[in-house]
Chains A and B, each alone.
Chain A
Amino acid sequence: GENVEQHPSTLSVQEGDSAVIKCTYSDSASNYFPWYKQELGKRPQLIIDIRSNVGEKKDQRIAVTLNKTAKHFSLHITETQPEDSAVYFCAARASGYSTLTFGKGTMLLVSP
């Protein structure tokens, strides 16, 4: 089955800096890669996703890049703000499968 590795486990940045979280996956058949943000005490919420037919997707301050050859994808957050502080999860899903495989999460701390 699919295995998703996520790094780093914790990331501390100063407000205004950029943050990058990286994930690798094992199943070359995976074609859907969402990123979820979970604030303290809240439910995970989708912030951006990418499918394997594109290499990059942007939404305001967040972007995701995908390298299918190397089987890795990354989340980029620019101009970080304290409200970006949360746990971020990457995930992967192969076509034809119903379930997502999640990474172990990255705790992002943005200091004012």
Chain B
Amino acid sequence: EADIYQTPRYLVIGTGKKITLECSQTMGHDKMYWYQQDPGMELHLIHYSYGVNSTEKGDLSSESTVSRIRTEHFPLTLESARPSHTSQYLCASSERQAGEDNEQFFGPGTRLTVL
């Protein structure tokens, strides 16, 4: 079934650790996004990608980095996690048809807690 997958779903780590949040989509979409969201609160765009080898920073300053080596895979990395990084991270994807961007589909999210 076409979907967006995120792993892990929950992660508790200590300060200073390096972590990678995985996002994969089987929807064949060219565009992918990472959002940071405290539960039920505003969605903050932190990174996005138009396609392979394309990455852009979003509106919210973030100490994370992303890569897009394969169309279906868009991992997010924190080199040194801090308690301020505690949040939910949502991955999303969309495709462009006939010159128009279509619906963004969201993954289930990764709930990160940094102690």
Known: A87-B40, A99-B33, A105-B41. A93 touches B107 (CB 8 A): no
The yes or no answer to A11 lying at the interface (CB within 8 A) is no
Known: A98-B31, A98-B48, A98-B50. A44 touches B100 (CB 8 A): no
The yes or no answer to A54 lying at the interface (CB within 8 A) is no
Report yes or no: A49 in contact with B58, Cβ–Cβ below 8 A: no
The yes or no answer to B45 lying at the interface (CB within 8 A) is yes
Report yes or no: A43 in contact with B48, Cβ–Cβ below 8 A: no
Report yes or no: B40 in contact with A107, Cβ–Cβ below 8 A: yes
Q: How far is the CA of A20 from the CA of B103 in the complex (A)?
A: 22
Q: How far is the CA of A104 from the CA of B42 in the complex (A)?
A: 5
Chain B residues near A43 (CB-CB < 8 A):
90, 106-109
Report yes or no: A34 in contact with B45, Cβ–Cβ below 8 A: no
Known: A43-B90, A45-B106, A98-B48. A32 touches B43 (CB 8 A): no
Chain B count of residues within 8 A CB distance of the other chain: 21
Chain A residues near B58 (CB-CB < 8 A):
99
Among A66-112, those with CB < 8 Å from B are: 87, 89, 93, 95, 98-105, 107
Residue-by-residue, is A1-43 near B (CB-CB < 8 Å gives 1, otherwise 0)? 1000000000000000000000000000000101000101011
Chain B residues near A42 (CB-CB < 8 A):
108
Q: How far is the CA of A11 from the CA of B90 in the complex (A)?
A: 25
Report yes or no: B106 in contact with A93, Cβ–Cβ below 8 A: no
Q: How far is the CA of A98 from the CA of B95 in the complex (A)?
A: 10
Cross-interface CB contact of B106 among A44, A49, A98, cutoff 8 Å: A44
The yes or no answer to B26 lying at the interface (CB within 8 A) is no
The yes or no answer to B101 lying at the interface (CB within 8 A) is yes
Report yes or no: A105 in contact with B108, Cβ–Cβ below 8 A: no
- CB-nearest residue of chain A relative to B103? A46
| 19 residue pairs bridging A and B, Cβ less than 8 Å apart | A34-B104, A43-B106, A44-B43, A44-B106, A45-B106, A46-B104, A46-B105, A51-B100, A89-B43, A93-B101, A95-B100, A98-B48, A98-B101, A99-B58, A99-B59, A104-B42, A105-B42, A105-B43, A107-B40
